[in-house]
A and B are shown apart, each in its own frame.
Chain A
């Protein structure tokens, strides 16, 4: 019943993963430029600015993301351009998410869809937004155990990048990443205990930096009615 499902906005999705202990970049939601050209005083420059629109699932496909915005002038300019694009292409902008720029080593997709036979499936993929190009992907049936997650990482061709063991490096702790996956697809994970009936879920990319994780973008599609008990 697609009509009864909706995508949470990015701030809503990020709030959700934060509740499950997965860090997200510091940021705040600001009103559309047309409504309120005054910017709050404490924005984190350099910053990332992203549109918030109920009609747009993949923001980068409509140029709805600007990276490395250095000051208020550039931010204003970016917001105006994005609002003009939206007006021309016919989607509404409810506001903007302004976040600190975060850099890291490796981008990973962590996603879930509901299989009609097996229920929630969790998927890890190397490369974040380039995940389809790299095609280095593993899936498991949920709920997963920590052993399943370790096995998933081992199965990825890119596992040395996740572990930090490329070129003879000693590696870094894997625990933060394993725990993050468990908080999504484990028995008490977000897919099962968020209070929503989650149909589709995706952190893409999840950024790894020396073993620490941060969710740069989160999408979540839920069924509107209350979950069945």
Chain B
């Protein structure tokens, strides 16, 4: 262990020095790609390309081995074949803090088991913490560290760990399209050394990380993982997606219980015990993260009453059913509210009960600002926990010139109307052609979902979390 005032995880999230193992001056390698990406991302520290013979690479001085670098290495990106990894990382103690090993062919194969054990034994001796193997890399905007091109350099609040490399790319790309902004994304692969529990502790203590997203396929130290979550007592929302649940069976159990205590029941139990938000699909995973990024959980009440406003009656009715199955109520408004809404004199075809249906012809009134007016009226009379604005852009485009501007104004006026209210506010923006991911949504302070179900899942997750917080407060656990 290194004795230093610098927190251990800084070497990963804000590395001062990065070594790249597996660069080649003659042909294209993963190492080359990583190093160029690092330069393009504006990494400010020292980069040490490692190559046995080349003198320089991309204008940087190369070193024959990672042992020869002038300073200790905070982060080593190791893009070497599995058989070459151990020898390449055989350094004096505390020379390499974190080594991210990309190659597969370790413990997941029969031949690789010995390689894995040797690598781990050596890492314990040298004090190097291994990330992976069988992973892609680490994205840490605050450290200008990345393994993908064209990623945001803004430090966000979402901390991600994933045992699938491919999924980390989906999380970063699809997440960005939904407005997610990351404090860090770490691909953990087989997690032979740095385990999910370690990174969980890192994110729990990291000030930049407000929300944690975890994709797991296996957790070797399940009891520690459980205790870490339990001790956190819901201090940060944690969204958990577990792959391969159906694969784990109880072997050699002869009691009834053995057949009943299935893996999915155990994960569900863990979620209930710790306030972790266990989701079933990738889409739910992203939706929940989006909700937690934009919405502040209510401390003294659990989200339950929802207002739906938008164009597209059928979609709203289906959505009301969807929410009801998750314990969220789209309840009819009170009579006072109805009187006030009637006074606005919306055109025929509009419906002012909850859900509020504003067909395209209504939606375009006041260049779309009618939406804000309706919401403001509702909020003076109703106590609501959440408000969803549903925009079917295609339908508005069919009947309206300059529909983009109208929609923009509608969303803006709605967001203004809900500003002083603590209800969770989100927009569901549906369109048949393209999507709005190309637009810069970072200026908006509310989430924009692509489907009603995403918004519903986000609300469901935050309601579950609020219920857990209430529980923690009630019992002061």
Query: Using a CB–CB distance below 8 Å, which chain A residues touch chain B?
Result: 2, 57, 109, 111-113, 115, 117-119, 121, 123, 125, 131-132, 137-141, 144-145, 147-148, 151, 155, 200-202, 204, 219, 221
Contacts and interface: CB of A to CB of B under 8 A. Distances in A.
Contact of B266 (A109, A141, A147, A148): A141
B222 A132 contact: no
B258 interface: yes
Closest 4 CB pairs of A and B: A111-B257, A117-B222, A118-B222, A140-B269
Given A121-B269, A123-B261, A145-B477, 20 more contacts: A57-B254, A109-B256, A111-B257, A111-B260, A111-B261, A113-B250, A117-B220, A118-B222, A119-B222, A119-B223, A121-B261, A139-B260, A139-B266, A139-B269, A141-B266, A147-B471, A151-B273, A200-B254, A201-B255, A204-B257
Contacts of A57: 254-255
Contacts of A113: 250, 253, 255, 257-258, 261
A2 B257 CA distance: 17
B226 interface: yes
Contacts of A118: 222-223, 226, 266, 270
Interface residues of B, number: 29
18 contacts: A57-B254, A111-B255, A112-B261, A113-B253, A117-B220, A117-B222, A118-B270, A119-B222, A119-B223, A123-B265, A132-B260, A139-B262, A141-B226, A141-B266, A155-B272, A202-B255, A204-B256, A221-B254
A112 B257 CA distance: 6
B477 A139 contact: no
B272 A140 contact: yes
B259 interface: yes
A2 B252 contact: yes
Given A118-B223, A119-B222, A145-B477, A125 B270 contact: no
B228 to A, nearest CB: 12
A131 B144 CA distance: 55
B259 to A, nearest CB: 7
Contact of B272 (A119, A123, A125, A151): A151
Contacts of A123: 257, 260-261, 265
Contacts of B219: 117
Contacts of B258: 113, 200
Contact of A111 (B256, B269, B477): B256
B268 interface: yes
A112 B269 CA distance: 13
A98 to B, nearest CB: 24
B244 to A, nearest CB: 12
Interface string B393-429: 0000000000000000000000000000000000000
Contact of A139 (B220, B223, B254, B265): B265
Contact of A200 (B226, B255, B273): B255
Nearest to B255: A202
A202 B256 contact: yes
A121 B266 contact: yes
Given A113-B258, A125-B260, A137 B265 contact: yes
Contacts of B270: 118, 141
A140 B273 contact: yes
A113 to B, nearest CB: 5
Nearest to B269: A140
A132 B257 CA distance: 9
Contacts of B259: 132
B278 to A, nearest CB: 13
B260 A131 contact: yes
Nearest to B222: A117
A32 B471 CA distance: 54
Nearest to A115: B266
Nearest to A146: B475
Contact of A125 (B250, B256, B477): B256
A169 to B, nearest CB: 25
Interface string B211-227: 00000001111110010
Contacts of B223: 117-119, 141
A113 B250 CA distance: 8
A144 B270 CA distance: 11
Contacts of B272: 140, 148, 151, 155
Most chain B beta-carbon neighbours within 10 Å: one of A57, A131, A140: A140
A145 B272 CA distance: 12
Contacts of B250: 113, 115
Contacts of B218: 117
Interface string B282-301: 00000000000000000000
Nearest to A121: B261
Nearest to B268: A139
B83 to A, nearest CB: 30
Contact of A131 (B222, B256, B477): B256
B275 to A, nearest CB: 11
A144 B227 CA distance: 11
A141 B477 CA distance: 17
Contact of B261 (A2, A115, A151, A221): A115
Contacts of B269: 121, 138-141
A227 B109 CA distance: 33
Nearest to B220: A117
Nearest to A148: B273
A119 B266 CA distance: 11
Nearest to B219: A117
Interface in B172-230: 218-223, 226
A229 to B, nearest CB: 17
Contacts of A141: 222-223, 226, 266, 269-270, 273
B214 to A, nearest CB: 15
A221 B258 CA distance: 12
Interface in B60-78: none
B222 A219 contact: no
A90 to B, nearest CB: 18
B257 to A, nearest CB: 3
Nearest to A2: B252
Most chain A beta-carbon neighbours within 10 Å: one of B253, B255, B270, B475: B255
A189 to B, nearest CB: 15
A147 B475 contact: yes
Contacts of B252: 2
